[in-house]
Structure 1
Amino acid sequence: MEVHFDGKRALVTGAGKGIGRDTAKALVKCGAEVFVLSRTQEDLDSLVQEYPGIRPVQCDLGDPVATKAAVESVGPIDLLVNNAGINIPQAFLDVTLDTFDTVMNVNVRAVLQVSQIIAKGMVERGTGGSIVNVSSLASKISAKACTTYCASKGALDIMSKVMALELGPHKIRVNTVNPGIVMTNMMRKIGYDDPDKAGPFLSRIPLGKFVEVDDVVHAILYLLSDKAAMVNGASLPIDGGFLTS
């Protein structure tokens, strides 16, 4: 299945590393004009070195004033990937209000704010568009020390469905991808490429392996594309069948 985004303008948040970075590069390869947002200037610089056509925007999505200015600066967008997200692990009884607010601000509030700005432009132009919010399997299952993260991804899933309901009449589709454990460089560094450490998790995945970044990127590209023209309000688990166990 070939996907083309010639003539389309895309924005990817949290594009400095991992899923967001590889999504941005894939969108360039598919012909889109790509804007990337990250709070880390060094990551943006290295990404532009790899792909000089990418348009970088430095911004901390935890700051709503800076977020508004940054997103408005990129102009009209046809394809939006809300990938930025954070997790601050704490046991339930240790969760602080500051931690809760920090996680919810980035994982939920920023998605609301960015999507409102972009979707209003889509509606005004009357050209439609596609939004993919990067959620997590943590919206569907509980995990120790992940109270705020699980809560934020659960909120993101249902907010995405409301977005799909209200924006659908304007030909704007909204979907989420919900990856399980993704084998990023960070996951390898903490030992999840060690069969002994990974065994208990892998035993619950029928396909017997963790998700790779490309697995998520390919799903995002599909949902952004016209190949998914009738997919709206969906939450797509990318988990090798974990939820079936």
Structure 2
Amino acid sequence: MTSDRSTEFAGKTVLVTGAGKGIGHATALLMAERGARVIALSRSTADLAGLKDAIGCETICADLADANAAREAARSARPVDLLVNCAGIAELQPFLDTTADKFDLTMAVNVRAALIVAQECARSMIERGVKGAIVNVSSLSATVGLPMHAAYCASKGALDAMTRVMAVELGVHGIRVNTVNPVVTLTPMAEKAWGDPAKSQPMLARIPLQRFVQPLEVARTIAYLLGDDSSMVNGVSLAVDGGFQAG
């Protein structure tokens, strides 16, 4: 017997950043399917147009690398009940060649933007007395060192640490904050990093389920963390890794 989840998030508004592609796109589609009013944020107008055609969502185009643009975008989305911080970039460079500019850009998009957007959304939830939920999309890279990923791993470790502080400070207002930490997910960004079989095969060999993650599988985990089924889950980094960390 399967339950009907089409009204699970009815009456709720969710802001999804990085909604144009990959995990963010899958999450926007899934949340709409489950009854939420979706506000999709991306820096790509073409991606947003396609998403709007698919689910009739509201859209905001902004480059979250710009702190002022990130804050303005978050303010324009208010009021929201749920937030998914999914926007992220990966600049691949060897550690010894990692530039300050690429490191700063990665931290700006993957961490600072999540901070700013969550600040605005959480203030709105608190003002309205909403018992909301925030999911920051992190990565297994928060705890595992990967070659060529110095800036990316640093940013995801920082995102996990910030999430724990958010959970402690916002929890007293009834706002739950968690991260979802997938292993390699088959998104356009992942193709850039893992498209070479010489790189992907050693990683696959460490995953007991012998495959990478699909965006929808991560989206379903995000929906769980946003929903009532996880009402006592707060401050958790939830791995979606096929058993990678168990080995």
**TM-score, normalised on structure 1?**
0.94
1:26 aligned to which of 30, 50, 73: 30
How far is the alpha carbon of 1:200 from its aligned partner?
A: 2.0
Residue pair 2:141, 2:152 contacting (<8 A) in 1 also: yes
How far is the alpha carbon of 1:189 from its aligned partner?
A: 8.1
CA–CA distance in structure 1, aligned partners of residues 117 and 142 of structure 2: 21
- Which residue of structure 1 aligns with residue 51 of structure 2? 47
- Which residue of structure 2 aligns with residue 211 of structure 1? 213
Q: Which amino acid aligns with 1:211?
A: V
Cα deviation per residue 1:108-129 (whole Å; 9 max; x = unaligned)? 1000000000001111111210
SS across alignment from 1:182: coil
Pairing 1:92-131 to 2, within 5 Å after superposition: 92-131=95-134
Is 2:175 aligned against 1:172? yes
Q: Where do 5+ consecutive residues of structure 1 fail to align?
A: none
- Which residue of structure 2 aligns with residue 138 of structure 1? 141
Paired positions, count: 243
- 1:70/1:187 CA distance change after superposition, 3 Å: closer
- 1:62/1:193 CA distance change after superposition, 3 Å: closer
- Which residue of structure 2 aligns with residue 70 of structure 1? 73
- Which residue of structure 2 aligns with residue 86 of structure 1? 89
- 1:187/1:98 CA distance change after superposition, 3 Å: closer
Cα deviation per residue 1:3-35 (whole Å; 9 max; x = unaligned)? 400000100000000110110011111111110
CA–CA distance in structure 2, aligned partners of residues 106 and 80 of structure 1: 16
2:42 aligned to which of 25, 38, 41: 38
How far is the alpha carbon of 1:207 from its aligned partner?
A: 1.4
- Which residue of structure 2 aligns with residue 224 of structure 1? 226
How far is the alpha carbon of 1:103 from its aligned partner?
A: 0.4
Cα deviation per residue 1:184-220 (whole Å; 9 max; x = unaligned)? 35656887596x7643222111112211111101100
Q: Which amino acid aligns with 1:15?
A: A
How far is the alpha carbon of 1:46 from its aligned partner?
A: 1.0
Is 2:156 aligned against 1:153? yes
Q: Which amino acid aligns with 2:118?
A: S
CA–CA distance in structure 2, aligned partners of residues 174 and 220 of structure 1: 11
- 1:20/1:125 CA distance change after superposition, 3 Å: same
CA–CA distance in structure 2, aligned partners of residues 191 and 144 of structure 1: 11
CA RMSD of aligned residues (A): 1.7
Is 2:19 aligned against 1:15? yes
Q: Where do 5+ consecutive residues of structure 2 fail to align?
A: none
CA–CA distance in structure 2, aligned partners of residues 78 and 20 of structure 1: 17
% of aligned pairs identical?
51
- Which residue of structure 1 aligns with residue 246 of structure 2? 244
SS across alignment from 2:172: helix
CA–CA distance in structure 2, aligned partners of residues 187 and 88 of structure 1: 11
CA–CA distance in structure 1, aligned partners of residues 89 and 189 of structure 2: 14
How far is the alpha carbon of 1:152 from its aligned partner?
A: 0.4
- 1:210/1:67 CA distance change after superposition, 3 Å: same
CA–CA distance in structure 2, aligned partners of residues 127 and 78 of structure 1: 7
**TM-score, normalised on structure 2?**
0.93
Q: Which amino acid aligns with 2:166?
A: M
How far is the alpha carbon of 1:47 from its aligned partner?
A: 0.9
Q: Which amino acid aligns with 2:40?
A: V
